[in-house]
Amino acid sequence: MENILISIVIPCFNAQKTLAKTINSVLQQKYPNFEILIVDDGSTDRSPEIIAEYEQKYKFIRNIKQANQGVAAARNNGVKAARGEWIAFLDADDLLYENSLTERVKAIQEYWSPEMLGVFCPAEMITDNGKKMGFGLIYNKLSSSGRVYFSHYHDCIFLPSCSIVSKLHFQESGGFDEMISPAEDYDLWHRMMRSGGYFRFVGGCKIGYTQHPESAVRSRLLTHFNQCKIVTQRISSPSELGIKECRDGFGKALCHISMSQRALSTAFMAIAAGDYAVADTVISDISCYAIETMDLKKLESLLKSSAARALCKHERDWLYVIWPQIHKNVVRFFEDLDKRFEGKSQNVRAMMKICQESRYIQPILVYQRVHSGSIASRLLNRLLILFRMYIWHGLKGVITGSLNRLLAHEKRVVLLFGLLSLYTAGLVVMTISLSLLIIK
């Protein structure tokens, strides 16, 4: 997906004060492969003249004229005329900052999957002369997975100007509803996500979201509120569109995810308890969609805590006691899930890779040495396990406690730092010595 063509759609209605700034912000982008489609929604000011000037100067700028039908219709018509497979929406009063196009395109290239609906970045509110309003970033939807699904947020997740969307997914969803402007974006994003796909958050850039008295939301406050009420009701209500997990509305989608996570926890506990038949039974209650909506760290944490609960073990027992005993069936379970989901779950594939990482393979090898080999080898490996489980675990607690005390008693900084350094150095020497003995 190198140098994919981005079609930038700019709906315009009487935007003579801001349009040139908006277009120039696009022209200053470093990403080379884009076209600009300016949809003139029946403007009666100097906007048509400004558009004509830019169209004459730049071959990649096209002017699309229509009778006044509203911003939703303008965007829809812009998408129809677009040559690119990815559409970047940009309102005629908003701004693209330096790298906002480049960073979002990078995210598409790096993370693309058939389920990716598009990407979005946060926005910064600015005045009509470009000054920051000081409220920080909005639509800053952070998650370690970077993916936002239908069941994650009930509100509007980003502005059109924040987004680059897949033309294919946009058209499959029916585009913007021209009857509920100015809440058409809020409606569309959730309608698209009902398909089971996701929008990826891109945190390394932002756009400028201009606030001025003539903006559609500000000049039609009550209309906007009433339209948002309609969209909120739609999101919570059943629909024939989308996958079965999202078809019955936002609330039912949350219930489905909760039940899938409960089934997943039950499966992990059953595997730890040595009853794979139970895990094999509840696997049918786990959906690919529910797994994908989970944070990968949360998924790994659920595995650890569920196994520890089943075996009544402490957290420190995870790597060197619990994991070596259950790893084969855990890997088997994720392989079964992968087959059931036909390889479509990114998180399942990621967990299968995690299980093959050195931090998970090494404890298995140490555990095997404890139960085989000479008496000396068994003893040394048992000492290594005890050291890592108790002394190292205790060291983390000492470091955390020391840092907290440092914040409370700054005069003792030098003394505590010295003691910690000596303690850490001693533990490092002990670890190296034990490791060398095991190797021998």
Which pLDDT belongs to residue 440? Answer: 47
> What is the three-class DSSP state of 110?
helix
Judge contact between 327 and 316, C-beta under 8 A: no
Nearest CA to 340 out of 393, 273, 263 is that of 263
pLDDT number for residue 280: 95
Domain residue limits, the chain: 6-243, 250-366, 373-439
Question: What local confidence, expressed as pLDDT, does residue 3 receive?
Answer: 84
* Sign of the alpha-carbon dihedral angle for 398, 404, 407, 411: negative
User: What fold characterizes domain 6-243?
Assistant: Spore Coat Polysaccharide Biosynthesis Protein SpsA; Chain A (3.90.550)
**pLDDT (0 to 100) of residue 110:** 95
- The DSSP 8-state label assigned to residue 318 in this structure reads I
CA 165 centroid distance within chain: 15
Q: What is the pLDDT of residues 304-360, one digit of tens each?
A: 999 999 999 887 788 778 888 899 999 999 999 999 999 999 999 999 999 888 777
CB 121 within 8 A of CB 99: no
Tens of pLDDT, residues 258-307: 999 999 999 999 999 999 999 999 999 999 999 999 988 899 999 999 99
Residues of the chain with pLDDT under 70: 1, 142-144, 214-219, 363-423, 425-440
C-alpha span between 73 and 414 (Å, rounded): 67
